[in-house]
Every structure is written in C-alpha cells, then in structure tokens.
Structure 1
Amino acid sequence: MNITKVLRQNNTNDPHLLGRGDIKKLLAQYSLPAIIGMVITSLYHIVDSIFIGHGIGASALSGMAVTFPIMNILAAFSTLIGVGGATLTSIRLGEKDEENARSILGHVALVNTVNGTLLGVVTLFFLEPVLKLFGASETLLPYASDFLSVYMIGIPVGFVFIGLNNIMRVTGYPKKAMLSSFLTVAVNVLLAPIFIFVLGWGMKGTALATVLSQLAGLVWVLMHFFNKNSLIRFEIKGFKLSGKTIVNMMAIGVSPFLMNLTSSLVVSIINFGLMKHGGDLAIGAYGIINRILFLFGMIVIGLTMGMQPIVGYNYGAKQIDRSFKALRYTIIVSVLIMTFGFLFSQLFPTLIMRMFTSDRELLDISVRGLRITTVLFPVIAVQMVISNFFQSVGKAKIAVFLSLTRQLIFLIPFLLLLPRYFGLDGVFMSMPAADLIAFFVTILTFTYQYKGMRVRK
C-alpha cells in the first residue's frame, strides 16, 4: 500500500509530524500515553507486592526481592533489541527510509524470541544455584524458586511483547502502546488475587498471572502489526535477518542493556549488604522500597520514551534545535515529578509502607530506607533524561558511560565503603551518594558534547 495514502487516512498517527509539530504538544502526545503505561506497569508491580505481602507473607516479599538481579539480567537482553530496534526505527523514519524501518520489526520479533527461549532454558536448568549465587538464603529459596520456575516459561512471550510495544509507540501509536500496557495490568490484577487468595497457588500463582498477562498484551500488539493499514507492519521480507541491522540495533540498545546488567550486579551487592547488616527482612524492605523508586522512575522513563521519537526523528532530519528543545522540556517536567516523589516519600513513608506489610520490623526498616534513598530524587531525573537523550541520537558510547557512572562506577565503591561505618543505613546511603556524583559528571559531559552536536545542523 502507498505510504502517503496510509498517512493521509490516519494523519493523527503520522510519524513525520515529529519534524514539524509543536514540541510541547508532541511531547505531551507521546509522553502521556507512555507515562500512563509506565504508571500502570508500576502499579501492577506494587499491587503484586501487596498481594504477596498480605497473602503469602513477609518472607515471600524477601524471596521476590532476591529475584530482582535475575529479572534485571532478563530485562537487559530484552532491551538490547527492543529499545535498540525502537530507536533505530524512529531514526529511519526521520530519514524517510520507511522500508528499512519496516524490516526492523521482523528482526525484533525473531531475535527476541530466540533470546527469550535460550535464557529461559538456561535459567531453569541452573535455577537453584543461580538463586543461591544471588543471595537466596534457605528461608527465601523456596519462594524465589517457585516464582521463577513458572515465570521463565513465559520469558519469550514477554521479550517479544516489550520489543514490539516499543516499536508501536515510536511509529505513531502511543495510545495503542499505552492500552497494551493497561491490558497486561488488568489481566494480572484480575488473575493474581484469584491464584493467590482463592486457589492458594502462592508464588507460582503470582508468576502464572504475570505470564498470562503478557500473553494477552502480545496478542493485542500482534493484531496491530498484522493489520495492512499500519504504516509499520509485518512483511515476509522483514523476517530475512540482516547482520548489519542486528548490529545497529545492538549498538544503540547497548546502553539500556549495560544499565540493566550493571543494575543486576549492583542489586546483588545491595542484597548481600542488606543480608549482612539486616538479615532476610532487610532484603524484603529493599524490595518494597524498590517498588516506590520504580514508580517515580518509570514516570521519568515514560517522559523519555515520549522524548525519544521526537529527538531521534529530528536528529535524523538534521533539525537539532528541535531535539534540544524536546530535551529541555523533558528535564523540567522530570525534575518536577521527582521533586514531588521526594516530598511524598519524606512526609508519608509510614503510610506508604503499611500498604505492603503489617510486620513491625519490616515496616521500620522500610520507612528509614525509603527516606534515605529518595533524598536526592530531583538529581536522578536530570541524569536519566540526558543519558536517554544520547541514546536517542545514536550516541551509544556516551549513553553507556553515563549509565555506568550512576549504576556501577560510583555506586559500587560506596556500597563497599559506607556500610563499614554506617551499617544498614550505609547500604541505603550509597545510592544518593552515587547519584550526586553521577549528576555532576552528566552535566559536564553534556556541556562538552553540546557544541559538537550543534554542528550537525
């Protein structure tokens, strides 16, 4: 079908408006659905933890927290292709290269299917030793094992769903991408309490609800990309893999890949520190805190997801001023959101934590930890947005460097040093300490790169 005809029929979904529309309106148009989708996803994790905390117990929350490093590794491989493919698609559209943009779709579907299957099989085969490697005690091992033994079976479904949903968002359908996220959460929230409270399936029930929800989301996304009226859709020739395309996707996706991979390493070190200075419940406390950090972090990520196609398209079209304008607006809104998160966490920590547990000891650790970890929330927003900006314009090396400063280069030394002097508090203090230094490095890096990027005009 003629591309111009498709765009005329569905002008509101015209990706080429990214190069001429009002930046504020475009940012709202692309960010709001992404933010809603991210908030919905975050609320799904929060509600899941509430079900686990009140339906299974405090140890189950700690068992779930032990799986976080493994989940981060899985997310790393998913985003390597998913985010890389979405970013490359938006750049190709900015270059008016719709044919190559279409071919990326098939690459994402095939490569993520293979990646998900291989990772699922390997993890299931070595499940118990892997969990012990990441700090599971004898008390927590049954909970973590029950969850992952079911969850890993559905990993290929989750990988493909996330990858295709990202492409749907950057090709002019942010609302549809939001609805797919809403669908997965709705299915999960419906099934999880039935599996946990009614059928008594415990952690296995939690995992099964997650897998079935992702399957529902995948069906929704596939219906869109098999529709002949979609600008970017599945074509037979798109499933003919190109080594160059895969390498290009991985080059761009390597930033979030390393970010998630290093996050896995860091969370492992955090868990070992928590276990040493606070025991199993300290790990559970961090698991709860992480849900709150995730909520506000996902809102900022939703903003950067809305910024990504605007920045990528205009960078590809050599309209760099529009890319910088989108960056500026995104930073302002992100800082405001994280400032609210800071105030909310400092003023009402007990109220927040009581949603998850009634265990007094777990509650005390969680409240103190939340106040410490959120003390520099606004600073995190700037670092996250600028790092994503470099990823959106294809400057993968810079994006990787900035991601590593916050999650590896500065955080690990603090995690090894501060607990020696401040015990359990030191584990929590290491996070804002690393955020502050990473913020200054990010500002210096952007200032250095700014003039060189403007030459692209």
Structure 2
Amino acid sequence: MNHSAQLGDEKIGTLLWKFSLPAMVGMIVNALYNIIDSIFVGNGVGEVGLTAVTIAFPIMTILMAFGMLIGVGATALISIRLGEKRIDDAERILGNALSLVFLITVLLTPVVLYFLDPILIVIGASENVLPYAHDFTQIILIGNIFMFLSFGLNNLIRAEGNPRLAMFTMLISAGLNTILNPLFIFIFHWGIRGSAYATVLSQFVAAVWVMSYFFGKQSLLKFRRKNFSLNKSIVWGIFSIGLSPFLMQIAASVISLLSNVALLTYGGDLAVAAMGIITRVTMLILMPIFGIQQGVQPIIGYNYGAKNYGRVIEALKKAILAATLVSTGGFLIVQLFDTHIMRIFNGNQELIQFGSQGLRIYLALLPIIGFQIVSANYFQAVGKAKYAILFSTSRQVIILIPLLIILPHFLGVTGIWVASPIADFFASLITGVYLWRELGKLTKMHQPIC
C-alpha cells in the first residue's frame, strides 16, 4: 500500500494530527522510560547511580547524534523523493542508510571503548562515581548497534507515510525497558549494570522490529542488496541534511560536559545529580514537541518536493501553534509543581531544594522553545542544510556554550541555570527573522490551484 500519497492530498490539520500524535506518543513514552530508569536507579542504586548516569549522558548523546546524522538526513531525502515520485531513488537512499549504520558502528564503538575511563574522567566522573559510570556506559556501547538501527532507521518508516508503525517501535522499546529495569535492579540485584542491560535488550527487540518491516511486505520501500553499495552523492546528501541534528546532539554533549564540570566545581556530586533530574524533566516536556517536529517533517518535505507550497506554509504554521501550546503547558507544570517533580526521583531534601530552584530557572522561557524547534526543523525538512545547521545550533553552540563557560565564574551554579533561558531567547529571535523571510518567498512561489 502506498502510504505516501496521503501526504499530498489529505487535509493538513488531519494529516498533522495523524502523523504527529503517534510520534508524540512514542517520544513521550521514550522520555518516560528514561525518567523511570532514573527513578529506579535513584532508588535502587542511590545518588551515586543518578550521578553516574548523568556523567554517562554526553557519551550516549554522541551515539544518538550519529543515529540522527543518518536517520534524519535519509528521512528528509526520502520524503522529498517520494513527493517527486522517484521511488527507486528513495530505495537507494534507504539501502545506503543501512550500510552507513553498520559502517559507523564498526568505526566508532572500539575507539570509545578503548578510551572509556579517560573520557569519563574528563567529563566529570569523580573517583567515587567512575566505577558506576564505567559499568553502565560499557554495556550501552557494546549494544549500540541496536540503538542505531531502532532509533536511526525508525524515522524512515515515518518518512514513507506510516507514523503509527514508527510509534510502535518506540512503544515496544520503552515498554520492555520499563519492565526489565526493576526486574534487573531489584530482583536480580544487578545494580546499575541491570539498567544498562535492560536498555540494550529493549533496543535489540526494537531493531528487529524495524528491520523486519523493511524486509517484509508492509513497507512501500524495500531493502535491496543492490542498494547497499555506498553512493557518494547519496551519502553526501544524507550527511549534509543530517549534519544539523548531528551537530545539535554533539553540542548537547559538549553542554553536558561543561555543565557537569561546572556543577562538580561549584556544587559537587549533588549538583550533578540535580542536573540529571532537570535534564530528564526537560526531555519529557520537549518530546511532544519533537513528536510534532517529526510528524510535520514528511508532510513539509513531500509537499515541497511536489511544489505544493501552500500546503507547506499551512503545515508549518499549524505545527508551530501546536508546539507552542505544548511548551506553554510544560512551563506552567514546572513552575507550579517543581518541588513535587524533584521529590519523585529522590527523597534527599537538599537535592530537592537545590534542584527545584534550578528547574524553575532553567526552563524560564520554555513557552518560546516550541516555535524555535519547529521553525529550525522546517529548513531541514526542505533540504536547506546550511540554514538548518545555523538555526539548530544557534542556541547550543553559538550562544549557550560561551554562556556556560563565562557565567559560572560570576554566578556559580546559578550561572548554569540562567544560561539556558538567555540562549532560548536569542536563538528564537534569530530563527524568527529568517523564517519570516522564508515564508515571504514561499508565499510568492505559491500558485493557488483553481
């Protein structure tokens, strides 16, 4: 069945709901199981476990960056090719994406494993935390091929017009992880290793699910042996578009590193643990927005390829509105229930007080983040790689990293908290100016269909 045809015909509002809701559900569940992991680790291993997982987070972020480099880049290209009715070209992109996943895994994993302890020490692991961080990260690295396959290639299911199946991939992974985590930690007493084993095993099952889809009868696009040979122009196209989210994830890793070092310097292991909780709460709020972003991307890409510019504009505006409503709702929840949120993770009163203050400040300008994320994603969806890189990295690289280096020297831990809303404001301003110009161009190009 050709699921992609609906992208050019169905009402935008209905289509956005149909594509975004499964992505939102999947992303929320994905964030929830990360939070539940932290709750299990915090209560089953203790504060040292929370700190260890927080220290390991930059490495996991880098792994996800490579998954996004391939998955997001290939997704945008496939959406555009489907809009142009070039099915064979879309299948070549799919085959090249799979080959790149295996190639990057073989090149990346041994290097990180060899230098694991020095890397963990550099990113803030204290002598007390290092053994826990090592055990957790080592297992995640050994099984990262399953993360690449499940996370990276799952986007391609959505690209060909099957968002519900893409949602089930994340539900399978999240549901299994939520079951296995308490089993391995509390019943088998495997400690922090148990949490890592649960993550890898759940990603393995999700990877099998994704691969079976493209080798089966249900998919429009198929894995074909002839398409596994890497093509220079296809690889360059995937990397040029995927470079934007890749750099954004790398920047997130650098931010985690800088934050952990500053937090360790000015607040000790307790401050790092607090940031770990704040990061997970932030992820939970942002996941629905990323779901909207993922849902609208194939709609924009397909219609841009088909030159239906009026539908592109409509989809973008409705996605921005939806994302803004979500981010505003998240802001109200954080400001009203900050202490209650922190208490879920750990009962340490000092950690609760310290973290709740940081949470309120860190997400002070959350209502404008939805606009910035969806707007930056538009340029990625239409294949304008240079603009996508600029807007996706403006917050984290151009603005936030310098703030994290400078502000803690004057404000201590508070400097880390306030850096985030400052970066949110200026990144949204820059993105808004360019998006206004882009919408003007699209409006001129749009010819109403009589």
- TM-score, normalization by structure 2: 0.97
Query: What residue identity is the alignment partner of 2:392?
Result: S
- Alpha-carbon deviation of 1:145? 0.4
- Contact 1:115/1:156 (8 A) holds in 2: no
- Alpha-carbon deviation of 1:452? 3.2
| Partner residue of 2:184 out of 195, 200, 207 | 195
1:314-351 CA-to-partner distances (Å, cap 9, x unmatched) read 10011111111111001111111111111100000111
Partner of 2:68: 79
- Given the superposition, is the C-alpha separation of residues 456 and 116 from structure 1 closer, same or farther in structure 2, using an over 3 Å criterion? farther
- Contact 1:303/1:334 (8 A) holds in 2: yes
| Partner residue of 2:296 out of 307, 326, 342 | 307
- Alpha-carbon deviation of 1:190? 1.2
- List runs of 5+ in structure 1 lacking aligned partners: 1-5, 8-13
> Aligned equivalents of 1:416 and 1:130: distance in 2?
20
| Partner residue of 1:316 out of 294, 297, 305 | 305
> Aligned equivalents of 1:386 and 1:329: distance in 2?
11
Partner of 2:278: 289
Query: What residue identity is the alignment partner of 2:58?
Result: P
> Aligned equivalents of 2:215 and 2:276: distance in 1?
39
> Aligned equivalents of 2:261 and 2:321: distance in 1?
36
- Contact 1:148/1:207 (8 A) holds in 2: yes
Partner of 1:53: 42
> SS state of the match for residue 151, structure 2?
helix
Partner of 2:335: 346
Partner of 1:451: 440
Query: What residue identity is the alignment partner of 1:213?
Result: S
The Cα RMSD (Å) is 1.2
- List runs of 5+ in structure 2 lacking aligned partners: none
Alignment of 1:262-273 (within 5 A): 262-273=251-262
Partner of 2:142: 153
Partner of 1:393: 382
- Contact 1:89/1:101 (8 A) holds in 2: yes
- Contact 2:61/2:252 (8 A) holds in 1: yes
> Aligned equivalents of 1:297 and 1:37: distance in 2?
12
Query: What residue identity is the alignment partner of 1:104?
Result: I
> SS state of the match for residue 299, structure 1?
helix
> Aligned equivalents of 1:114 and 1:355: distance in 2?
41
| Partner residue of 2:243 out of 238, 254, 277 | 254
- Contact 2:324/2:370 (8 A) holds in 1: yes
Partner of 1:419: 408
The percent of aligned pairs where both chains have the same amino acid is: 43
Partner of 1:437: 426
- Contact 1:224/1:230 (8 A) holds in 2: yes
> Aligned equivalents of 2:227 and 2:18: distance in 1?
29
> Aligned equivalents of 2:217 and 2:428: distance in 1?
45
- Alpha-carbon deviation of 1:451? 2.8
> SS state of the match for residue 115, structure 1?
helix
Residue 106 (str. 1) matches residue 95 (str. 2): yes
- Greater shift, 359-368 or 227-236, is seen at 227-236
Query: What residue identity is the alignment partner of 1:363?
Result: I
Residue 134 (str. 1) matches residue 123 (str. 2): yes
- Contact 1:85/1:163 (8 A) holds in 2: no
- Given the superposition, is the C-alpha separation of residues 115 and 394 from structure 1 closer, same or farther in structure 2, using an over 3 Å criterion? same
Partner of 1:3: none
- Alpha-carbon deviation of 1:353? 1.0
Partner of 1:179: 168
> Aligned equivalents of 2:159 and 2:116: distance in 1?
36
- Contact 1:109/1:163 (8 A) holds in 2: no
> SS state of the match for residue 345, structure 2?
coil
Partner of 1:11: none
1:391-449 CA-to-partner distances (Å, cap 9, x unmatched) read 00001111111122100111122222322332211111100011111111111121233
- Alpha-carbon deviation of 1:74? 1.1
> Aligned equivalents of 2:371 and 2:50: distance in 1?
31
Alignment of 1:357-396 (within 5 A): 357-396=346-385
- Contact 1:307/1:326 (8 A) holds in 2: yes
Q: Which runs of 4 or more aligned residues in structure 1 lie more than 3 Å from their structure 2 counterparts after TM superposition? A: 452-457
- Alpha-carbon deviation of 1:455? 4.8
Partner of 2:51: 62
- Alpha-carbon deviation of 1:456? 4.5
- Alpha-carbon deviation of 1:101? 0.8
Partner of 2:219: 230
- Greater shift, 414-423 or 253-262, is seen at 414-423
| Partner residue of 1:163 out of 145, 152, 175 | 152
> SS state of the match for residue 308, structure 1?
helix
Partner of 1:10: none
- TM-score, normalization by structure 1: 0.95
- Alpha-carbon deviation of 1:165? 0.8
- Alpha-carbon deviation of 1:454? 4.1
Residue 92 (str. 1) matches residue 81 (str. 2): yes
- Given the superposition, is the C-alpha separation of residues 421 and 321 from structure 1 closer, same or farther in structure 2, using an over 3 Å criterion? same
> SS state of the match for residue 343, structure 1?
helix
Residue 245 (str. 1) matches residue 234 (str. 2): yes
| Partner residue of 2:268 out of 260, 279, 294 | 279
- Contact 2:149/2:210 (8 A) holds in 1: no
- Alpha-carbon deviation of 1:229? 4.2
Residue 31 (str. 1) matches residue 17 (str. 2): no
